[in-house]
Amino acid sequence: MTRKRIAILISGRGSNLPALFRADLGGDIVAIGSNKADAKGLDLARDAGIPTFVVSHKAFATREAFDAAMVDELNRHRPDLVVLSGFMRILTPVFVDAFADRLVNVHPSLLPSYPGLDTHRKVIDEGVKIAGCTVHFVNGELDGGPIIAQAAVNVEEDDTPQMLQQKVLAQENQILPYAVRLFCDNRLQINGKRVRVLPVAAPA
């Protein structure tokens, strides 16, 4: 089986990158890109010897123009899978359609609850007892694509948003590499809004 080529997009510190670097993904990370030149995660990528690139959204008049430029840059690396890991951009169909069914995102809530930003503060303010994270395919709906994997954490009475963020991040570090491995092993089948995890193929 040909190993899949994986590209990752970040906007900040790349908090899931070390877990992805450590994991046996069944594929190879061929590039890590960002919309911000000062994203700390780019330093992690360079230290790991992974090619990096930056496409600044500030250089484009429209979201569509930025997305088209990012698609062009990604295509230079010929990815089979594009992973959004803290990539803080709302994507247009120009981007989403270019990588249909091979674009995944990790989100710090148990979707479909709490899409969008500031999830940990919302969870605590509303007295939610169980929080977590989700890895899902990306479609045209904000944080609304078919769900691949989820993990839950308890919300304690004295949790702050920062404390909850760290607990959720520890779970992201587990389920994001797991979901990427499932994709690289051709074990994900999208059926409408649902994702079926196929069994491991028997040896030939």
**Whether pLDDT at 202 is above 90:** no
pLDDT tens-digit readout, 104-116: 999 999 999 999 9
Q: What's CA 52's distance to the chain center, in Å?
A: 17
Q: What's CA 103's distance to the chain center, in Å?
A: 8
Q: Average per-residue pLDDT in the chain?
A: 96
For residue 69, how many C-alpha atoms fall within 13 Å in the half-sphere facing its CB? 17
The answer to whether the CB of 177 falls within 8 A of the CB of 23 is yes
Confidence of residue 22 (pLDDT cuts 50, 70, 90): very high
Collapsing DSSP states into helix, strand and coil, what is residue 175?
helix
Beta strands in the chain (DSSP E): 4-10, 27-34, 52-54, 81-84, 103-107, 130-137, 147-154, 188-191, 194-197
Count of C-beta atoms within a 10 Å radius of residue 163: 14
Q: Please list, in sequence order, all residues whose beta carbon lies within 8 angstroms of the beta carbon of residue 147, skipping any fewer than 6 positions away.
A: 111, 134, 135, 136, 194, 195
The answer to whether the CB of 27 falls within 8 A of the CB of 81 is yes
The answer to whether the CB of 123 falls within 8 A of the CB of 115 is no
N residues, the chain: 204
Confidence of residue 200 (pLDDT cuts 50, 70, 90): confident
Identity of residue 85 = S
Q: Is 57 tagged catalytic?
A: no
> Catalytic one among 77, 107, 120, 136?
107
Beta strands in 16-80 (DSSP E): 27-34, 52-54
Question: Residue 16 to residues 27, 63, 92, 137: CA-CA distances in angstroms?
Answer: 16, 25, 24, 17
Overall pTM surpassing 0.85 (yes/no): yes
Q: Residue 82 and residue 183: Cα distance in Å, rounded?
A: 11
Beta strands in 11-155 (DSSP E): 27-34, 52-54, 81-84, 103-107, 130-137, 147-154
pLDDT tens-digit readout, 47-62: 999 999 999 999 999 9
pLDDT tens-digit readout, 97-149: 999 999 999 999 999 999 999 999 999 999 999 999 999 999 999 899 999 99
Domain 4-195 has CATH 3.40.50.170: yes
**Whether pLDDT at 203 is above 80:** no
